[in-house]
Amino acid sequence: MHVEAAEGAGASATARVPGEDEAVERVGVSGIARVLGADEAAAAVGDAAQAGSVAGVDGAQASSAAGVAERYRDSLAVVLDLTGEQLGLDPYDVTVDHTFAELGADSLSMLRVVEEVGQRFGVELAVSELFDELDTPHKLASAVASRNLPEGEIDPFDLLAPADSPDQAEASYRAAVAESVVVKDSRTALAVLGSGLAELAAKVSAAAAATSEADLPGSGMAALMSQQLRVAGQLVDGVTKLMHEQLALLNETTQPSPSQTTAAESTTAGRQASAKGAATEKDAEAEAARDGAAEAEAARGAAEKDSAAKKAEAARSAARDSAAKAEAARDAAEAEAARGAAKAKQAADLKFWHGVLAGVQPLVLPSDRPRPAASADVATVELGLDASLGDAIFAFSRDRRVSPLMTMLAAVGTVLGRFAAQDDITIGTAALRGAGAQESRALPLRMDLSGEPDLGDLAQRVREITIAAFDHATADLAVLEQDPLFQVLVEFEPGDDDLAPELDLRLRLAHHAGGIRCTADYRSGLFDQATIERLLHYLEAVLRRAITEPRLSLPELMLPIEPDRKLLAEFEGEPPPAEPFGRLRRNAVVAGELSGLHTLFEQQVARTPDAIAVIQGDRELTYAELNRRSNAVAWQLVDLGIKPGQLVAVRVARGAELVVAVLAVLKSGAAYLPLDPGVPESRWSFMINDSGAVALVGDDAALADRLGLRLVPVAAGDADLRAKQAPPVRAAADDVAYCIYTSGSTGNPKGVAVPHRGPVNLVRQYLRTRRSLRTLQWTSFGFDVHVQELFTALASGAALVVIGEDDRYDPDEVVAALTKYEVERLFMTFTPLTALLATMPEMPKLPALREIVAGGEAMVLTHGIKDFLAAHPECLLYNEYGPTEASVVTTIHQVDPAEDRPSIGRPIDGVVVRLLDEALRAVPVGAIGEIHLGGAAVAQGYLGRPDETEAAFVNDPAHPGGRLYRSRDLGRWRADGTLDYLGRVDDQVKIRGHRVEPGETEYVLADLAGVVDAVVVANTDPAGDTCLIGYVVLEDDDPAVLARLLLELTKELPIYLVPADLIPIEDLPLDASGKLDRARLPEPEWLKD
């Protein structure tokens, strides 16, 4: 009989047997599910199975029904227990009619429930079904009870129906009427049972509704649920009692009584005795005749039966063959359909992953050591989260209707994303596994951290992507050609298996009675133990902060914890005293904090007037001579009316006169604007007009006319008697000392106005910490390092050796100057330094050299540099960092030749270095942040560009009244307080979805045998894809070297970091500042086609 269940508590369906007037009602599934607990519901199904055997169901069906009832009861108990355990719910919070979504479940949290039930009861289930057709414990248990049985899928409550179909019901009814009225009585009893159950179920629903609206004592869901359960329990007892009474009555009416059985037996025996008596009264002759006839008839009957039996057997055989063929055809069709469905599912899954992983970038945690040099050793650290925090996490998750696993994944993503400075990260989780899978298969989980959500919102995002990922878990992700998809894996079960080769870090988060155990397995060759321990401590901090203040955004959750705040206070440096600098203190003494650059020189003149100050070829100037000549030019500027704050251009050929011109402008109170001979005159013209320069100190009158400036000859005033003393002008610390033009984002250069305070602070740092050393003036005049070269020498009493413009680019001439003049300190950007040292095959070559100061570019220790330092043990290498906007240098690091990757050091005195995010919030120690520079080093800003100045120079959030320069450089604090330089914010390169740092490839390439120097740049191939191109300076020109280098790179690096081509060049091209000129690197021939 077809039965339909109406929705709602206590709903019932009515079915009629054709020709019968009585209504046979069936208890609705949802009605019983809401009223009965697990045991009562299963009992109802079992008793219904007994009723079914009476209502026209045969013995085999009754036995099957009993089995279904037993499976239903067992599976329901398992489902309820595991669901409560996985979701951290009180057993009374989980009922058979709650949907799993209402309970706060998701696919990941219900994975164990599905697996356990499937394995225990031998059924195949998919997690997605729990949020579709099997969305309640009752529906899930019903499916478990009926699947894999010969009868197919059966709802256990369908056993309350008296028959399977209208035709069968009609046949059963007619047969029952013909034989006995007992069946009719049983149907009547069943109808009474259904009516009673429906009535009580309706009362339960009404009572529950009334209870939910009652004004209960106390507060909270627990009190409300308790009251509801007490009321419902009383009604359930009534329902159960009535059900058993009605079924007992039903059984009594369908079984024959002993008296009825005795009477029937007596009647049968009497009939047999009468038949026997009649037979003995026949005549012998008649009996014999009849016997003969009977024998003949029997013979004919036997023949007919034999023929019929053979025909029947043939028919049955044909039917069996036909059935077998039909079944085989049906099986083949089903198999083909299954294969087609599987292919379609795999195609859909692959399409899903193509969309999800489009533009994906794996999480790339900053490491403590470079990857190629790192060992594969694995270490482990653990952190335990106490039980109270574990309980709070479960409550937090339940309130947001997500599983605790989603909350933990969100917290892990928050921590890792912050340390990597990524808001789009991909990690792996082995908790995602398809139904029926025998072992965990890690799938990529792409998290969107953008928009500054809170942890609860992120957990909801994670839940959605996790469910989607699980539903498409059958795809073969290897065809995506994105390897590795992730390098960090999160698991939720304890284990002791080895860390997979493609993984850098694996987090295991296991819940137990004492709380949550967090275990991290990591590559000890990449990470320090302190780094991984810090990750775990931030995971704990994020969880505690989110529970205490749920509306905090992710960046706020990741603000430095107390131990890091103490470290940052030590690492970042202290700003100078907040005393304002003003013109009232213009005449401060040289020893005071307000002196200018030239004043440091004048102080040294007073100490060592006869010492050699400048050397140019065979020409030498003493400190006294240099002071007198610069005073004379300064007087000429003052006579022209030059005032403090104005700019004076300087264009003089490299040599002693260049030093005279710089000092003269400073002594006049003005600031100098260097015109670098390495740039075209059109750029000079732009700089003059943009800066408002009022005069030119130089030796080219025609140039002054073309630029529209008054010329002050650098040789003017040699006979001026006033030259014995400088003009009576003193520069305040806030007055501009020089203006350097740097490249601008709009295509035009920007003038950076640098006051005396910053470079004076730098020179004093040298005077306090370094020796007085003879220095080569090698740097371009348009590059601010020339300030460092000039004044670290002239303020310490050392000599400054000046070489010509053309000689700067000739390594042999540079080496000759270093040797001839016994130069002790060399300032040089890293690219030309590498080329210079590569030209010295015989060492030691420069025995007088004591310091090499490199800066302006990322440092990579090549073989040439290591060999030079090994041959010159008394020579120290320094790596210095600082943009023009922060007065040349802000951090200094003395390099250990054994270092894999030199840092840029610690802040110098008076300078503040902070690593902040886009909203100027501090990042943890070890996390990537943008370098912000403050303290005495900060420039005034960009000339005539207030908007750009405001954007680049911001208020210091940790120091009211202070200013910071946003460098757009990325950095990371090491645990020892030194700073790693990690490239530019706007130089991010992505290749096949991977965020790539070309410097990583450059490091490995430069370290290979046969390579003198190397640089790696990103380029675009003809298909529009990004690729890497390597340029190498080789020891020899053997073509086979390039193939060997590429092979070595494939052994050391992931494939996406291996250059598409290696191009040999004689030297790396340099710009006017001595930095690598990338624009002049030759384009590969295959890119020109």
pLDDT, tens digit, 9 for 90 and up, residues 454-477: 999 999 999 988 888 888 877 777
Average pLDDT over residues 778-797: 94
Q: Is the pLDDT of residue 214 over 70?
A: no
Q: Is the pLDDT of residue 193 over 80?
A: no
DSSP 400: T
User: Do residues 689 and 734 touch, judged by C-beta distance below 8 A?
Assistant: no
The CATH class, in words, for 378-558 is alpha beta
Q: In one letter, which amino acid is 272? A: Q
Average pLDDT over residues 575-597: 51
Q: Which of 6-15, 56-65, 577-586, 610-619 has the highest mean pLDDT?
A: 610-619
Which pLDDT score, from 0 to 100, does residue 606 have?
Answer: 95
Q: In one letter, which amino acid is 1029? A: I
Q: Which residues pair with 979 in a beta bridge?
A: 973
Look at 216-225, 637-646, 826-835 and tell me which has the smallest mean pLDDT.
216-225
Q: Is the pLDDT of residue 44 over 70?
A: no
Q: CA 784, CA 731: separation in Å to the nearest integer?
A: 20
Band of residue 228 on the pLDDT scale cut at 50, 70, 90: low
Q: In what order do the strands lie in the sheet with 1011-1020?
A: 1011-1020, 1026-1034, 1061-1064
DSSP 976: T
List, for residues 600-648, the tens digit of each pLDDT value.
Answer: 999 999 999 999 999 999 999 999 999 999 999 999 999 999 998 899 9
List, for residues 718-730, the tens digit of each pLDDT value.
Answer: 678 888 999 998 7
User: Do residues 26 and 15 touch, judged by C-beta distance below 8 A?
Assistant: yes
Which pLDDT score, from 0 to 100, does residue 290 have?
Answer: 60
Which pLDDT score, from 0 to 100, does residue 301 have?
Answer: 67
Architecture (CATH level 2) of domain 583-970: 3-Layer(aba) Sandwich (3.40)
Angle at 750 between CA 745 and CA 755, to 5 degrees: 135
Q: CA 108, CA 433: separation in Å to the nearest integer?
A: 9
What residue segments make up the domains of the chain, in order of their start? 12-254, 378-558, 583-970, 988-1088
Q: What is the SS3 assignment for 689? A: helix
List, for residues 999-1039, the tens digit of each pLDDT value.
Answer: 778 878 888 888 888 888 888 776 666 788 999 988 887 87
Band of residue 299 on the pLDDT scale cut at 50, 70, 90: low
List, for residues 321-330, the tens digit of each pLDDT value.
Answer: 888 888 888 8
What phi, psi does 406 have (nearest 5°)?
-65, -40
CATH superfamily of 988-1088: ANL, C-terminal domain (3.30.300.30)
List, for residues 332-344, the tens digit of each pLDDT value.
Answer: 888 888 888 888 8
Distances (CA, A) of 1028 to 995, 997, 1061, 1078: 12, 10, 7, 13
Closest CA to 886 of 778, 968, 770: 968
What phi, psi does 935 have (nearest 5°)?
85, -150
Average pLDDT over residues 468-489: 79
Q: Is the pLDDT of residue 66 over 50?
A: yes
Q: CA 184, CA 832: separation in Å to the nearest integer?
A: 107
Q: Is the pLDDT of residue 297 over 70?
A: no
* Burial group, residue 276, by CB count within 10 angstroms (0-12, 13-18, 19+): exposed
Look at 75-89, 261-275, 494-508, 906-920 and tell me which has the smallest mean pLDDT.
261-275
Which pLDDT score, from 0 to 100, does residue 262 have?
Answer: 45
Q: Is the pLDDT of residue 1042 over 80?
A: yes
Average pLDDT over residues 941-963: 93
Q: What is the SS3 assignment for 255? A: coil
What percentage of the chain reaches a pLDDT higher than 70? Answer: 72
User: Do residues 1012 and 1034 touch, judged by C-beta distance below 8 A?
Assistant: yes
Distances (CA, A) of 967 to 242, 638, 705: 82, 36, 38
User: Do residues 385 and 512 touch, judged by C-beta distance below 8 A?
Assistant: no
Angle at 1071 between CA 1065 and CA 1076, to 5 degrees: 50
- DSSP assignments along 710-732, one per residue: EEEETTTTTT-GGGGS--S----
Q: CA 16, CA 23: separation in Å to the nearest integer?
A: 6
What phi, psi does 898 have (nearest 5°)?
-85, -5
Q: Is the pLDDT of residue 271 over 50?
A: no
Which pLDDT score, from 0 to 100, does residue 124 have?
Answer: 80
Q: CA 381, CA 431: separation in Å to the nearest integer?
A: 21
Q: Is the pLDDT of residue 37 over 70?
A: no
Q: Which of 97-111, 656-670, 731-745 has the highest mean pLDDT?
A: 656-670
Following CA atoms 885, 886, 891, 892 in sequence, which dihedral angle do they give, to the nearest 10 degrees? 80
- 800 contacts: CB under 8 Å, gap ≥ 6: 613, 614, 615, 659, 774, 775, 777, 789, 790, 793, 794
Left if phi > 0, otherwise alpha if psi is -120 to 50, otherwise beta: which for 587? alpha
Which tokens sit at 513?
């009675």
- DSSP assignments along 534-578, one per residue: HHHHHHHHHHHHHHHSTT-BHHHHTSPPHHHHHHHHHHS--PPP-
The residue whose two tokens read 């009723």 is 51
List, for residues 521-562, the tens digit of each pLDDT value.
Answer: 999 989 999 999 999 999 999 999 999 999 999 999 999 999
The residue whose two tokens read 């940790």 is 958
Instruction: Quickly count: other Cβ atoms within 10 Å of residue 507's Cβ.
Output: 25
As a whole number of angstroms, the longest Cα–Cα distance in the chain is 181
pTM of the model as a whole:
0.70
Which pLDDT score, from 0 to 100, does residue 189 have?
Answer: 53
Q: Is the pLDDT of residue 316 over 80?
A: no
Q: Is the pLDDT of residue 975 over 50?
A: yes
Band of residue 170 on the pLDDT scale cut at 50, 70, 90: very low
Instruction: Quickly count: other Cβ atoms within 10 Å of residue 842's Cβ.
Output: 6
Closest CA to 34 of 76, 83, 95: 95
Q: CA 32, CA 232: separation in Å to the nearest integer?
A: 12
What percentage of the chain reaches a pLDDT higher than 90? Answer: 38
Q: Is the pLDDT of residue 702 over 50?
A: yes
CA distance between the termini of the chain: 78
Greater confidence (970 vs 46) lies with: 970
Which tokens sit at 627?
């002071």
Look at 332-346, 696-710, 907-921 and tell me which has the smallest mean pLDDT.
332-346
Closest CA to 776 of 832, 715, 853: 853
Which pLDDT score, from 0 to 100, does residue 1076 have?
Answer: 79
Q: Is the pLDDT of residue 786 over 80?
A: yes
Distances (CA, A) of 1025 to 877, 1019, 1056: 39, 8, 12
User: Do residues 76 and 137 touch, judged by C-beta distance below 8 A?
Assistant: yes
Band of residue 201 on the pLDDT scale cut at 50, 70, 90: low
Look at 550-559, 792-801, 898-907 and tell me which has the smallest mean pLDDT.
898-907
State the DSSP H helix or E strand holding residue 192, giving kind and residue range, or none if neither: helix 182-212
Q: Is the pLDDT of residue 389 over 80?
A: yes
Q: CA 33, CA 16: separation in Å to the nearest integer?
A: 24
Q: CA 175, CA 682: separation in Å to the nearest integer?
A: 113
Which pLDDT score, from 0 to 100, does residue 679 have?
Answer: 81
Band of residue 988 on the pLDDT scale cut at 50, 70, 90: low
Q: Is the pLDDT of residue 48 over 60?
A: no
Which tokens sit at 153?
């899928």
Look at 285-289, 711-715, 888-892, 1078-1082 and tell me which has the smallest mean pLDDT.
285-289
Which pLDDT score, from 0 to 100, does residue 603 have?
Answer: 95
Band of residue 703 on the pLDDT scale cut at 50, 70, 90: very high
Cα of 756 vs its chain's centroid, Å: 45
Q: Is the pLDDT of residue 905 over 50?
A: yes
Which pLDDT score, from 0 to 100, does residue 135 have?
Answer: 85
Over the Cα atoms of the chain, what is R_g? 46
Q: Is the pLDDT of residue 180 over 90?
A: no
- 87 contacts: CB under 8 Å, gap ≥ 6: 94, 103, 104, 105, 109, 394, 398, 403, 404
Q: CA 863, CA 479: separation in Å to the nearest integer?
A: 40
**CB-hemisphere CA count at 13 Å for 683?**
19
Looking only at the bridges linking them, the beta strands covering 515-523 and 505-512 are antiparallel
Cα of 1049 vs its chain's centroid, Å: 27
List, for residues 425-434, the tens digit of each pLDDT value.
Answer: 999 887 544 4
List, for residues 143-163, the tens digit of each pLDDT value.
Answer: 888 776 544 444 444 433 343
User: Do residues 986 and 968 touch, judged by C-beta distance below 8 A?
Assistant: yes
Which pLDDT score, from 0 to 100, does residue 334 have?
Answer: 84
Average pLDDT over residues 807-836: 89
Angle at 305 between CA 304 and CA 309, to 5 degrees: 120
Which pLDDT score, from 0 to 100, does residue 580 have?
Answer: 42
What integer best gives the mean pLDDT of the chain?
Answer: 78
Distances (CA, A) of 464 to 298, 395, 459: 81, 20, 9
Q: In what order do the strands lie in the sheet with 424-429?
A: 378-386, 515-523, 505-512, 488-491, 424-429, 443-448
Looking only at the bridges linking them, the beta strands covering 647-651 and 695-698 are parallel
Which pLDDT score, from 0 to 100, does residue 273 have?
Answer: 44
Q: Which of 48-52, 244-248, 664-668, 1004-1008 has the highest mean pLDDT?
A: 664-668
